[in-house]
Amino acid sequence: MTVQHNLAISALRKAYAEGAISPESLMNDLREKAAEYKGHNIWIHLLSEQEQSRFLNALKDKDSDTHPLWGVPFAIKDNIDLAGIPTTAACPEFSFTPEASAQVVQQLIDAGAIPMGKTNLDQFATGLNGTRSPYGACKNSFNPEYISGGSSSGSAVSVALGLASFSLGTDTAGSGRVPACFNNLVGVKPTRGLLSATGMLPACRSLDCMTIFTYDTDDANQVLAVAEGYDDLDGYSRKNPFPNQARAYGKTVGALKVGVIPEDQLKFFGDEAYEQAYLSTIGKLKAAGIQLEEFDYAPFDEAAKLLYEGPWVAERYIATQPLIDDNPDAIFPVVGEIIAPGGKPPATDLFKAQYRLNELKQVCDKQLAAFDCLLTPTAGKCFTVEEMLAEPILCNSQLGYYTNYMNLLDMASIAIPTQMAANDLPFGVTLIGPAMSDRFLLSVARRLADTYMLTQGATGIEKTLAEATSNTSPATIDVLVCGAHLDGLPLNWQLRERGGVLKETTQTAPVYRMYALAGGPPFRPGLILDEANGSVIDVEIWSLPAEYFGSFVNGIPAPLGIGKVRLEDGRQVSGFICEPYGIQGAEEITALGGWRAYMAIKNS
């Protein structure tokens, strides 16, 4: 058995810096190790020493200090192009050799990353299980009798078994999340369009996105920072807004409100081990002080069913039409059974489905907006290979119960491992947010990692995460209000019409005095810091979209302004304060404990 290297990016860079290993010796070790796992059917094309030499030689002209992925090995799902290496999409008859690498792949290589090879997948990325390939079923990294998850099967297993530091997959229905769950990895399903799709063979072009598998959220953020980028050649590419940049990653702090599925809408398909693992995960969340509230999963489930039961299967038909027309026997039987009907739905079916999807999206987005994020099981059951082959369509549909809606509804998600289930297979959950919430979700996942600390994939190597900076959602700003902006009072519209949401009702630290300022209506209070003679004051905290914070502050008249206000629990929040000169001629109302009490007396 070859040596087991710690391939976490920080550990690998440290080993390079100390001279403990070289990129050349590491790649040789990894090729030897890959041979030991030949029966797992991970690779369609493992790069030879000669094929890899061009990337290793290029490292000599790259400074490791300025190339964040210098010497870091990665795997590429074989529906993503690597220049000079065949792309097969797990269909030999489809194979072609691209002259250029996919934009994402090239950006990773430019940052110093070294391709290990092209990985096995469910043919044409059709499936969530990893058994639909003429190159053999890709087997679970913990127990080869079980499925690896798909379609990005080989990409996940290569990382889990310590053959790559990270890998690229793709995701239409859950292929960047289910394999992460079954192999104890972090799976990043980014916002559609955040990563270029140039050089990626689409399954459903309007829905697909590349995905990233890593051991932890630190590595995920680092790889995502290199991989993302707007692409003029990709009609679905989107620019990443400031609140979602790599610098926004940290560890969320403070109150966290998470939506969970009601018990009667959960499905584990007879897998008691996974059901108990989920309940245990939820229990640990509660113990960690995270607020959990239920949301209605029914509209998400209805949207999910549109993917395979609706007209979007026509996009899969488009991607494979030349083979279907000219050589249908080249297509894996189950894949052909799914794709072939895609040529039949009329355009009217597509429009009807789009109408319904938009209706469902409104309902789902409204529910999502009430939480910091949603949390679901990533999968309800991990099937054996035998079970999957016996009922390929039914089992695959069950694998997608918690995943199939995501890209249709334009949401972002992070799959994270939480514990080993009683059947000795890894279990995990998925965090869900709106488009461009990727870094916030990673920051929530980083917070949860302290509760669910597991090993790196199936390697047995302990995770060592860097100390994380405190982080709140950069997409919103918490604003403390204490007077006319309180819920239901005359100026509250200034928050609500900007999309503000009441986050909590609380009190300040006992260091403030409150005054009813002269003038009005509207009548306004002034909050003054007084360490020696202050008291607690009732306040509200509103979450305001960051893009509207400036216009809100711009409308605040003197002597009021926004500064940092201390809360009873020690937090500091941006909120209303008053210049000292403003209390001239004002009435002190500190003893009443808050503005509502004062207004009740004033209006009585």
Task: Enumerate the active-site residues.
Answer: 77, 151, 175
Residue 53: helix, strand or coil by DSSP?
A: helix
In 488-586, where does DSSP find H-type helix?
Answer: 493-496, 549-554
Which residue bears the tokens 């302990």?
462
DSSP 535: B
Q: Rounded distance, CA 96 to CA 343, Å?
A: 24
Q: At 553, which amino acid appears? A: V
Q: Give the residue among 213, 165, 216 at the shortest CA–CA distance from 189.
A: 213
How far apart CA 527 and CA 482 sit, in angstroms, is 8
CA distance 187 to 416: 7
Q: What are the CB-based long-range contacts (under 8 Å, 24+) for 469-473?
A: 469/250, 469/251, 470/250, 470/251, 470/252, 470/253, 471/248, 471/249, 471/250, 471/251, 471/252, 471/253, 471/440, 471/443, 472/252, 472/253, 472/254, 473/243, 473/252, 473/372, 473/437, 473/440, 473/543
Tokens of 262: 């009601």
Nearest in space to 73 (alpha carbons), one of 119, 19, 142: 119
User: How far is the first Cα of the chain from the last one, in angstroms, to the nearest whole number?
Assistant: 83
Alpha-carbon distance of 412 to 407, in angstroms, equals 8
Cβ 417 vs Cβ 177: under 8 Å: no
* Residue 66 token pair: 């300025």
Pairwise CA distance, residues 274 & 278, whole Å: 6
Q: Which run of H or of E encompasses 114?
A: strand 114-119
Residues 6 or more apart in contact with residue 472 via CB below 8 angstroms: 252, 253, 254, 478
Using an 8 Å Cβ cutoff, are 225 and 246 in contact? Answer: yes
